[in-house]
Amino acid sequence: MKKNRACFAVILGLLIMGCGISKEDLTEQVKLSIEETLTERGLEGFTVKDLTLIEKGKNEYRGLLEVESDGETEKITINVTVDGDNLMWEIVQ
């Protein structure tokens, strides 16, 4: 019985550790959030071309966002914080 509990604890621990969001999935979620925000604010002439995120620490990322408008491309630095199902991004000025 103790052996089964130990195995269960190890398996549960591995499952919990493996449930974090991948950087690729996070990148896609942030891109979608940015696109939704642009649309909500009436900035439909902007297109998100690319987003690269680099992990700064636990739940914190720094990214380079590439946005196109009127044929011109601009690169913008953003910060992203993730906590479970919630994410927050902000443009670095």
Q: Is the pLDDT of residue 2 over 50?
A: no
Whole-number pLDDT of residue 65? 97
- Residue 11 and residue 32 in contact, taking contact as beta carbons nearer than 8 Å: no
pLDDT of residue 93: 80
CATH number, domain containing residue 29 = 3.10.450.630
Distance CA 77, CA 93 (A): 8
57, part of any domain: yes
Q: Residue 79 and residue 63: Cα distance in Å, rounded?
A: 6
Pairing of strands 60-69, 86-91: unpaired
**Is the pLDDT score of 4 beyond 60?**
no
Q: Does 6 reside within a domain? A: no
Question: In terms of pTM, does the model score above 0.85?
Answer: no
pLDDT value of position 50: 96
Q: What is the mean pLDDT of residues 78-86?
A: 91
Q: Please give the tally of structural domains in the chain.
A: 1
CA distance 78 to 91: 4
Per residue in 9-55, pLDDT (tens digit) is 444 443 333 456 789 999 999 999 999 999 999 988 899 999 999 99
Domain of 84, in residue numbers: 21-91
Confidence of residue 62 (pLDDT cuts 50, 70, 90): very high
Query: Is 1 part of any domain?
Result: no
